[in-house]
């Protein structure tokens, strides 16, 4: 009897323990979520899903496009570059101009434009002025009129193919002119006022030191060449430095209108004699704003295909040595030393 009672008591105890374990493992109907703090949402925090998530920061407004303006009463300088375009250095110069919201005038050689037309589109896009430096960089003053006009016309064809328009502004190679070159080409002829002779030194620091050593650059046209690495290096220093000094960098056409009060006309020549006898005008000319519907170079024709490259597939700018030059009997413009290098 005692043995049976012991068995019954053991079974009762075992049954009671199993029931307790089952109840402990079962989730509570109302508080089961609180029993698992890892997976349960924290009711004390706002429900970001129902509230639409964290508030997003509105995107920053896009920067306003830079609008270049010129103060006609402010100091200004025209940087000019001859003999290009160059396959490497022209773009390096344009990089500096773009970075500093500056412009320049590029007097390009027609046969170089035909060989490497790509930079002209970028020049126009940046607001730079595209001008001619003849087709073959020959001394125009020693050419017959028919050959002279043929050379300039050939250059024009290269400009039209590359940029859609032929420039009317021309810088004669070496600054060499006679009466025919000055007044009988149907174009505007212009030289320069400052020549740091970058072509001669090919030393960036020498060019920088020369220009920085001049006391007053207001109204000056500075002659440089886009075919030298040293010039591109000098430009990287000079452009921000000129702006820090308060100079506006303008095109030749802008300088002539705002500083000298001259609207450039075909059949006119602006050389050493002009610049040495003219100062700042009291009546600057306001240039019309460029129309977005018209090419910056002034034409309306579609760009033609660039001439094919030579058999080698390579192109390099035509080297332009500075020859010895003496005025012809027709030459009437007195030129100081160092002017006949462009």
Catalytic residues: 82, 225
> Maximum Cα–Cα distance for the chain, whole Å?
153
CA angle 158, 221, 239 (to 5 degrees): 90
Cα gap 86→118, rounded to integer Å? 10
How is 177-227 classified by DSSP, letter by letter?
A: --HHHHHSSSSEEE--SB---HHHH--HHHHHHHHHT-S--TTEEEEEETT
Peptide bond into 29 cis (omega under 30): no
Which run of H or of E encompasses 96? helix 89-99
Cα within 13 Å of Cα(113), Cβ side:
35
Beta strand ranges found along 56-126 (DSSP E):
76-82, 105-108
- CA–CA distance from 105 to each of 64, 92, 217, 305 (Å)? 26, 15, 17, 24
Question: Measuring CA to CA, which residue among 273, 254, 259, 262 is closest to residue 219?
Answer: 259
- The rounded distance, in Å, linking the Cα atoms of 191 and 256 is 12
């Amino acid at each position: 009897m005692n043995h049976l009672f012991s068995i019954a008591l053991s079974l009762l105890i075992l049954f009671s323990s199993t029931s307790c374990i089952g109840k402990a493992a079962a989730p509570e109907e109302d508080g089961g979520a609180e029993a698992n703090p890892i997976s349960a949402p924290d009711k004390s925090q706002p429900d970001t899903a129902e509230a639409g998530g964290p508030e997003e920061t509105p995107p920053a407004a896009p920067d306003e496009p830079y609008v270049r303006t010129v103060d006609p009463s402010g100091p200004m300088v025209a940087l000019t570059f001859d003999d290009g375009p160059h396959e490497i250095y022209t773009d390096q110069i344009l990089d500096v101009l773009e970075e500093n919201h500056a412009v320049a005038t590029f007097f390009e050689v027609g046969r170089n434009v035909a060989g490497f037309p790509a930079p002209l589109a970028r020049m126009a896009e940046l607001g730079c002025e595209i001008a001619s430096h003849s087709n073959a960089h020959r001394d125009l003053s020693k050419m017959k009129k028919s050959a002279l006009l043929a050379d300039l016309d050939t250059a024009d064809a290269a400009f039209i193919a590359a940029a859609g328009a032929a420039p009317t502004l021309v810088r004669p190679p070496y600054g060499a002119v006679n009466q025919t070159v000055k007044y009988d080409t149907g174009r505007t002829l212009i030289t320069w006022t400052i020549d740091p002779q970058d072509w001669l030194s090919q030393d960036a620091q020498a060019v920088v030191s020369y220009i920085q050593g001049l006391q007053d650059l207001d109204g000056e046209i500075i002659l440089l060449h886009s075919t030298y690495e040293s010039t591109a290096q000098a430009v990287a220093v000079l452009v921000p430095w000129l702006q820090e000094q308060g100079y506006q960098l303008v095109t030749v056409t802008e300088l002539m209108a705002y500083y000298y009060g001259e609207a450039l006309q075909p059949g006119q020549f602006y050389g050493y004699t002009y610049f040495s006898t003219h100062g700042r005008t009291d009546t600057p000319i306001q240039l019309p704003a460029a129309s977005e519907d018209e090419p910056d170079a002034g034409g309306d024709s579609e760009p033609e295909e660039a001439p094919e490259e030579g058999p080698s597939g390579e192109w390099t700018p035509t080297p332009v040595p500075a020859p010895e030059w003496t005025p012809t009997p027709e030459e009437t413009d007195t030129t100081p030393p160092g002017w006949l290098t462009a």
